[in-house]
Structure 1
Amino acid sequence: MPRRVHDFRGLTQPRRLQLLHAIQRVPGRRIGELASECGIPLNTVRDHLRVLEDEGLIRSETLAVGTRGRPPVVFHPVRESASNPAATARVEGASERGRMLRAVTQQDSGPLDPDAARQLDVLYEHLDDAGLEPVVDERALSFDLAPCRYHDMIDEDRALVCGVHARLVEDVLRHTEGPLSVERLEPFVTAHQCRLLLTLEPPAPR
């Protein structure tokens, strides 16, 4: 599988997680709305959003409202990798590294077709970059994960932290077209391990 190449700085601060969660929950939010909801100063929100966008986790959109003054900017999750250059680069880079590593090691992807194997490669690198130390079982379509680094937030708001990661996994799988989708994310199956289970969608009827 691909090796880790870049950390997601965007996922290293709880406030960025709050902002990303707010954008995932209600896409198309303006900076002022996000600052008010999350209780974060406006200039700090701008800085955090810039990091999230630079890492391909969100995208900005300038609205044409037909009035004077600076047009408003709203923020969306990156659902399609083509909507954000950083997301596109991550998908292309992970796909190529996975292809090369499989060729060098002559690693067999088992019953998976090339599209599913590529999805696994891209998802593996995403999870590795997020610091979750993934261990993949390609035949079982499962990932064992180390709990994320926000242990101080987990007890306070586990739904927020786990929800952000689950939605990101769904988005990453959509970034790379293929038959895999999320079945479920099981937080803390042990004190030191979470588990992500994928499912193979049946081919669409012709």
Structure 2
Amino acid sequence: MPRRVEDYRGLTRVSRLRILHAVHRRPGRRLAEIAAEVDLHLNTTREHLAILEAEGLVQSLTLVTGVRGRPPVAFHPVTDLEDNAAARERAEGATERGKILRRLAPDLDRSDELGDAAMAQLDALYEHLEDIGLEPKPDDSQLRVDVAPCRYAFAIKTERALVCSVHIQLLKQQLQQVPGPVRLRSVKPFVTPTRCEIALEVCGEAAAPPGPASDLGAGAAATS
């Protein structure tokens, strides 16, 4: 059943990918530091960060310095849904749509095996992948997701490492935002010219082990 698609403007320019990468690499940096790293004007960087924050990709925190004047702002990845309304709305919407999908197609429901928390994480992750145009083909029985190579072909040839790094961090971020036992195990980019592979795992005692998928991703590329 196709999900709704809501494109992320924040991921459609190399400059914003670089800014997001800078925030992922060293959370808590201020505007001037980020602008200097990506070699953009302060106002341009500020505008890009506003788009990324509006889409739930970063959050800004006002710093208390005790000095007169406008307080500085630091930028972080969104790891808690309470910190960003857009990220919270996306996750809540994904959960509701996932529940509806499982009611319509009970054969897709693995809540008894994985637990409700894990299913909520998977709902958020799959919808995120759909929204950024990676056409996910999930296999819950193996905790694996096949995705189409990044749609942002404008950047792949010259910025492949940057694009892959940003997407991997966003996958981790999605799973951190929704409490549960599912973690990113590995990402294999370009397994074939038309397919990348994401492997997941269930950690702790919050859900039953996924059985045959326990050795999933052996020899896979590292996620860091």
Shorter-normalised TM range: over 0.9
Deviates more, 1:103-112 or 1:169-178: 103-112
Identity across aligned pairs (percent)? 50
For residues 33-90 of structure 1, the C-alpha deviation after alignment (integer angstroms, 9 at most, x for no partner) is 1111101122111111111000010000111100111111111110111111111111
Q: What's 1:140 paired with?
A: 142
Moved segments of 4+, more than 6 Å: none
Write the letter of the residue equivalent to 2:32: G
- Structure 2 stretches of 5 or more lacking a match? 207-224
Structure 1 equivalent of residue 123 of structure 2: 121
- TM-score after normalising by structure 1: 0.94
1:2 positional shift? 6.5
Is residue 2:188 matched to residue 1:175?
no
Deviates more, 1:132-141 or 1:6-15: 6-15
Q: Which position in structure 2 is the counterpart of 1:59?
A: 59
Residue 142 of structure 2 aligns to a residue whose secondary structure is: coil
TM-score when scaled to structure 2? 0.86
Q: How does 1:32-181 map to 2 (within 5 A)?
A: 32-110=32-110, 111-181=113-183
CA distance in 2, matches of 1:126, 1:107: 22
Where 1:196 maps in the other structure, the secondary structure is strand
Between the two proteins, the alignment pairs up a number of residues equal to 204
SS at match of 1:107: helix
Separation in 2 of the partners of 1:56 and 1:203?
A: 30
Deviation at 1:104, TM superposition (A): 2.1
Q: Distance in 1 between matches of 2:101 and 2:154?
A: 36
Give, in whole Å, the separation in 1 of the partners of 2:177 and 2:67.
Answer: 35
Supply the RMSD in Å over aligned alpha carbons: 1.5
Unaligned 5+ runs, structure 1: none
Q: C-alpha displacement at 1:19, in angstroms?
A: 0.3
